[in-house]
């Protein structure tokens, strides 16, 4: 699946390697119906090969359903790569998820900057539509 991620400040990710985890503004990706834009979320999780925008409860729901994750409350231990570790705080969990490329984080920016990024993303989306292969 083709993916392009737009960040504030004009940065972009084109699908090569691991995406930067913070400051995500818009994700352009394709499904069986064609290209679409995903934006406005606090977190983006990878499910079935696609990035999906979720809130904090959606993130925790996804974590609880994941095979790689076990979180024990109130002791705050986590099974990381087959080894139990005590977490100092929830940020340690977030950093680990970001490092593994499993979760991306959105950021609030000014409306003016967001609209500029949105226009760029729409142009890119429309160019993908023009080049779609039709049967």
Is residue 43 situated within a structural domain? yes
Q: Is the pLDDT of residue 122 over 80?
A: yes
Q: What is the reported pLDDT for 72?
A: 44
Looking at the structure of the chain, the number of domains it has is 1
Is residue 27 situated within a structural domain? yes
Is residue 87 situated within a structural domain? no
Query: What is the mean predicted confidence (pLDDT) over 4-25?
Result: 92
Is residue 123 situated within a structural domain? yes
Residue 27 in contact with residue 3, Cβ under 8 Å? yes
Query: What is the mean predicted confidence (pLDDT) over 31-41?
Result: 91
Residue 66 neighbours by CB distance under 10 Å: 14
Task: Round the average pLDDT of the chain to a whole number and report it.
Answer: 83
Is residue 95 situated within a structural domain? no
Q: What is the DSSP string of 52-78?
A: EEE-HHHHHHHHHH-SS--EETTTTEE
Give the residue numbers spanning the domain of 126.
3-65+102-130
Q: What is the reported pLDDT for 61?
A: 84
Whole-angstrom Cα distance, residue 8 to residue 22?
Answer: 10
Whole-angstrom Cα distance, residue 96 to residue 11?
Answer: 23
Q: What is the reported pLDDT for 59?
A: 87
């Amino acid at each position: 699946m083709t993916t392009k991620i737009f960040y504030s400040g004009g940065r972009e990710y084109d699908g090569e390697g691991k995406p930067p985890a913070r400051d995500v503004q818009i994700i352009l990706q394709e499904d069986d119906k064609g290209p679409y834009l995903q934006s406005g979320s606090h977190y983006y999780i990878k499910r079935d090969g696609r990035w999906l925008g979720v809130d904090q409860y959606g993130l925790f729901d996804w974590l609880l359903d994941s095979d790689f994750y076990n979180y024990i409350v109130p002791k705050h231990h986590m099974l990381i790569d087959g080894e139990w570790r005590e977490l100092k705080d929830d940020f340690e969990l977030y950093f680990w998820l970001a490092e593994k490329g499993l979760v991306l984080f959105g950021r609030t920016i000014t409306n003016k900057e967001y609209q500029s990024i949105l226009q760029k993303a729409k142009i890119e989306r429309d160019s993908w539509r023009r080049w779609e292969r039709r049967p």
